[in-house]
Amino acid sequence: MTTSTAARRRDRTHYLYLAVILAVLAGIAVGLVAPDFAVELKPIGTGFVNLIKMMISPVIFCTIVLGIGSVTKAAKVGKVGGLALGYFLLMSTVALGIGLLVGNLLEPGSGLHLTQALAKSGHAQATAGHAQNTTDFLLGIIPTTVFSALTEGKVLQTLLVALLAGFALQAMGATGAPVLRGIEHLQRLVFRVMSMIMWLAPVGAFGAIAAVVGATGTAALKSLAVIMIGFYVTCFLFVVLVLGGLLRLAAGVNIFALLRYLGREFLLILSTSSSESALPRLIAKMEHLGVSRPVVGITVPTGYSFNLDGTAIYLTMASIFISEALDKPMSLGQQFGLLIFMIIASKGAAGVTGAGLATLAGGLQSHRPELVDGVGLIVGIDRFMSEARALTNFAGNAVATVLIGHWTKELDHDRLTEVLGGRLPFDETTLVDSHTAAVPAQPDAPVLEKTG
C-alpha cells in the first residue's frame, strides 16, 4: 500500500468520525428543542441497529473459524505461541471482569428508564419473554441445521457451528486449507459490507441520540458522560495498575518508561483511531528494545487479533450500561454467562469498523435479546470511546511482547535498559509509517477494528 493510498483511507475515516460527532450534536439539539418530535425519530436508530444485527452471525462465524486456525498455527511454534495464547486468554478474562465490576459500581444507565419513556411515544417494543430452564437453554444451542444457525440469527448456535467447523478444519490439515481460504474471502466480503453499513452511523446516531434526549432530557447526557469518563479512567487504571504492576513484578520494567518509548506510536493511533496503523512500528520498536525477532513475530500479530484488553472492557461496560438504561438489569448469573461468551466472541471484535458493535449486539442477543435495541444508544458515543480502546489494546500488546520475551528468556535486559533510558534511540530512518513488509506471516489475519 502506498503512502498516498493509506492517507486517503485515513482521511475517509476522519470524515466518518467528524460526521458522527456532528450527528450526535445535532441529535442532542433536536432532543432538547423539540423533544416530542425527537422521540419520533427512534425508528432511524432502530433501523441502523437492525443492520448491525444482520451482520452478527457472519462476523462471529468467520472470525471464530479463522481464529481457531490462527491459534493452531501459533501453538505449533511451540513454547512462545502457547505462552502467548495462554496470556492473551487470561488478560482478556481479567479485562472483561474489570469491565463488569466497574459497570456495576458506576451504574451509568440507572435512572434513565428508557423503556418507560419511549413507551409513551408508542415506539417501545414488546419485550416479554418466557422463562427457560437449563435443559431448554442447552437444547436451544443446537441448531436445526448447520445453515439455520447462520440464517436465523441465533448467536449461540452460530458460535457452536463455528467452533465445530474450526476444529474440523484444523483436523483436516492441508485438505482443509482451500476451505479456510474460502472463509477468508467470505470474511473480507462480510467486513466490506460492515464498512458500508458503518457509513450510516451518523444517521443512526442522530436518530438514537435525539430519541433518548427527547425522552429523558439532560439525564441521558449525564449518563453518557458517566460511562465515557468511567471507561477512560478504567482503561488508564488498567494499563497503569494491572499491566504496569505485572510488568514491574515479572520483568522489572517501568510501564511509564515503556509508554514514553512508544509515544510516537500513541500519537499515530490517536490521530487515526486505529492501532493497525502502528503495527509495523510496534514490531520494529520491540525488536529494537531487545525482544528477539521470533518472539516479536509471533506475539505482536497474534495479539492484534486475540489480545484486545480495551475492547473487552468496553464490551462488558456497554452491556451493563444498556441493561440498566432499559430498566432490565442483568442478574449475576447472566453477567457471568455474558463474560464467558465475550471471552470467545471478543476475538471477533478484530476486523473493521463496526465489528465491535456486532460483537456487543451478539452478546446481548445471546443472553438478553430484548436489550439489543439499546445498542443504538452506544452508537452515538462509540466513536468517542474508540481512541481509548485502541490505545489500551496497543499498550496491552506492547506489554505482552516484553513479558513473553522475558518469560522465554528472549529479552536482552541490558539493551532494554539502554533503550528505555534514552541512550540507544530508535532510528526513525529505518522505518516509514506505510511500510508493511515487517509484518510477519498472517497476511490475511484480521486486525484491530479502526475504532479500536
Domain spans in the chain, listed from the N-terminal domain onward: 3-430
Write the secondary structure of 420-448 as one string of H (helix), E (strand) and C (coil).
Answer: HCCCCCCCHHHCCCCCCCCCCCCCCCCCE
Quote the CA–CA distance of 75 and 33 in Å, as a whole number. Answer: 58
In 3D, which of 145, 143, 153 has the Cα closest to residue 58? 153
Task: Name the one residue in this structure whose C-alpha cell is 475504532.
Answer: 451
In the prediction, which pLDDT does 116 show? 53
State in words which class domain 3-430 has. Answer: mainly alpha
Locate 320 and state its grid cell: 451493563
Q: What count of other Cβ atoms lies within 10 Å of the Cβ of residue 30?
A: 20
In the prediction, which pLDDT does 242 show? 95
Whether 307 contacts 238, CB under 8 Å: no
* Secondary structure (3-state) at 291: strand
| 236 backbone dihedrals φ, ψ, rounded to 5° | -60, -45
In the prediction, which pLDDT does 47 show? 83
pLDDT in tens, the chain (452 residues): 444 444 444 446 567 767 878 888 898 898 888 888 888 888 887 788 788 778 778 877 887 787 676 556 655 566 777 888 889 889 988 998 898 888 888 877 666 666 655 544 434 443 334 444 557 667 777 888 888 877 776 777 887 888 888 888 888 878 888 888 898 898 888 878 877 887 888 888 888 888 878 877 777 778 888 888 989 999 999 999 999 999 999 999 999 999 999 988 888 777 555 676 677 788 889 989 999 888 888 888 778 777 888 888 888 888 888 888 887 888 777 788 777 777 776 654 544 455 667 777 777 777 777 777 777 777 767 767 877 888 898 999 999 999 999 999 989 999 999 999 989 988 776 654 433 333 333 333 333 344 44
